[in-house]
Amino acid sequence: MALIVQKYGGTSVGTVERIEAVADKVAGARARGDDVVVVVSAMSGETNRLLELANAINDTPVPRELDVLLSTGEQVTIALLSMALEKRQCPARSYTGAQVHILTDSAHNKARIMDIDAERVQNDLRAGRVVVVAGFQGIDENGNITTLGRGGSDTTAVAMAAALKADECQIYTDVDGVYTTDPRVVSNARRLDRITFEEMLEMASLGSKVLQIRSVEFAGKYNVPLRVLSSFEEGKGTLITFEDENMEQPLISGIAFNRDEAKLTVRGVPDQPGIAHKILGPIAEANIEVDMIVQNVGADDTTDFTFTVHRNDCSKGLEILKSIGKNLGAGEVNSDNKIVKISLVGVGMRSHAGIASNMFKALAKEGVNIQMISTSEIKVSVVIDEKYLELSVRALHDAFGLEEATSV
């Protein structure tokens, strides 16, 4: 008998019929002898409905009151799911974040979980009940209602699994697992049976939006095995876990890509200590997040400085660069938002050289010019012209044999 935490997102509980289907799944797990804690989101559309009400009153609603408002969304779902479970003779109890003391800091709308009192939940589990917990919400130490921000229900599930020392945290979603790359781009992309936390973090942050990054970090930190499954189809999904020393690791787990970035370049800046800070300091002050940074040696004691930002920040970033470029005595300043970033991710890289050069070779073979390169221990990223995205991802997927389960 295992202790399982299951999380169902907004689409999975979007209608009464889908809530009934979730109740079938939960009651099924219970009938197989597992103890089950369920974490649910608001029914899809509900959070937007509530936001519209708030925005009709104020474009920038008071954060404390916005949390009071939005937290009702999950509260509706926990009640309905518990009713559906009881109808199936499956004893259940619903709890809001406050009722199971999901203690957070006081950062309304983006609070972080600090502690969970697992005792109440454990008492119900011992009494044979399924426990249904509202995701996304908690209380601060003064009893104010807080929310974790969008997608926070994944984090609630992982935190609950950690607090209960659950055997597995299952995230039910509208995809049936994590793929080697986006199946809409590569038709023979393969579902991974398992992937490590580190790889998943790289995949997620690079645009494979299956799971919230924070929940993966949390799961890694507390060593909670995390499984991504489909709410709508049967299947084992993808298990996200620690690297098993005895296990044969695949060389490359997957190919992620991101179409949301733009590139900013300052040419001919004096090659002096502190120059990076002089350029990126004002960018950071403007709250623009920077992703890749590359600095090349140029001619005549000058250097070319390039970095990527979110496309929405491109024109703002360009303006800043133009004003500081003059003070620095820099040359041309320009931007390019017709780019994509493609990344190979795999823990197998740690023990294998040559991955990067094989990547570059595969791209060269297709005539794709590489504009920027950045590497980390388990990842190689390149920036290329966005028109080559599909071509490049397919070529790399082939070159590294990702359509078949390979291992080192």
Of 6, 47, 82, 104, the one binding a copy of itself by CB under 8 A: 82
- Round to whole Å and give the CA distance between 155 and 160: 8
Kindly state the smallest distance separating residue 139's Cβ from a copy of itself, in Å.
Answer: 9
Per rule CB under 8 A, is residue 84 in the interface with a copy of itself? yes
Q: Which of 182, 338, 151 is nearest to 254 (CA)?
A: 182
Per rule CB under 8 A, is residue 69 in the interface with a copy of itself? yes
* Stretch of residues binding a copy of itself (CB under 8 A), selected from 55-63, 156-164, 203-211, 353-361: 55-63
The three-state secondary structure class of 311 is helix
Of 94, 196, 306, 392, the one binding a copy of itself by CB under 8 A: 94
- Round to whole Å and give the CA distance between 314 and 283: 11
Q: Nearer Cβ to a copy of itself, position 50 or 213?
A: 50
The three-state secondary structure class of 27 is helix
**How many other C-beta atoms lie within 10 A of the C-beta of residue 105?**
14
Per rule CB under 8 A, is residue 156 in the interface with a copy of itself? no
- In order, the DSSP letters of 330-363 are ---EEEE-SEEEEEEE-GGGGG-S-HHHHHHHHH
Of 48, 58, 296, 369, the one binding a copy of itself by CB under 8 A: 58
Q: Mask of contacts with a copy of itself, 315-354, x by CB under 8 A? A: ----------------------------------------
Dihedral, 119, 121, 125, 130 alpha carbons, nearest 10: 180
φ/ψ of residue 30, rounded to 5: -65, -40
Q: Nearer Cβ to a copy of itself, position 51 or 290?
A: 51
Per rule CB under 8 A, is residue 99 in the interface with a copy of itself? yes
Q: Nearer Cβ to a copy of itself, position 59 or 377?
A: 59
N- to C-terminal Cα separation, the chain: 35
Kindly state the smallest distance separating residue 88's Cβ from a copy of itself, in Å.
Answer: 10
Per rule CB under 8 A, is residue 98 in the interface with a copy of itself? yes
Kindly state the smallest distance separating residue 61's Cβ from a copy of itself, in Å.
Answer: 5
- Whether 340 and 396 have beta carbons less than 8 Å apart is answered as no
Binding to a copy of itself in span 120-149, by CB under 8 A: 143, 145
Binding to a copy of itself in span 15-34, by CB under 8 A: 16, 19-20
Please count the residues of this chain forming the interface with a copy of itself, following the rule CB under 8 A: 36
- Round to whole Å and give the CA distance between 249 and 243: 8
Kindly state the smallest distance separating residue 84's Cβ from a copy of itself, in Å.
Answer: 5
* 120 conformational bin, left if phi > 0, alpha if psi -120 to 50, beta if neither: alpha
Kindly state the smallest distance separating residue 134's Cβ from a copy of itself, in Å.
Answer: 9
| DSSP count for the chain of H helices, then E strands | 11, 20
* Stretch of residues binding a copy of itself (CB under 8 A), selected from 92-100, 294-302, 363-371, 395-403: 92-100
φ/ψ of residue 65, rounded to 5: -75, -30
Kindly state the smallest distance separating residue 72's Cβ from a copy of itself, in Å.
Answer: 4
Helix intervals (H) in 88-182: 119-126, 152-164
Binding site for a copy of itself (CB under 8 A): 16, 19-20, 50, 53-54, 56-58, 61-62, 64-66, 68-69, 71-72, 75-76, 78-80, 82-84, 86-87, 92-94, 96, 98-99, 143, 145
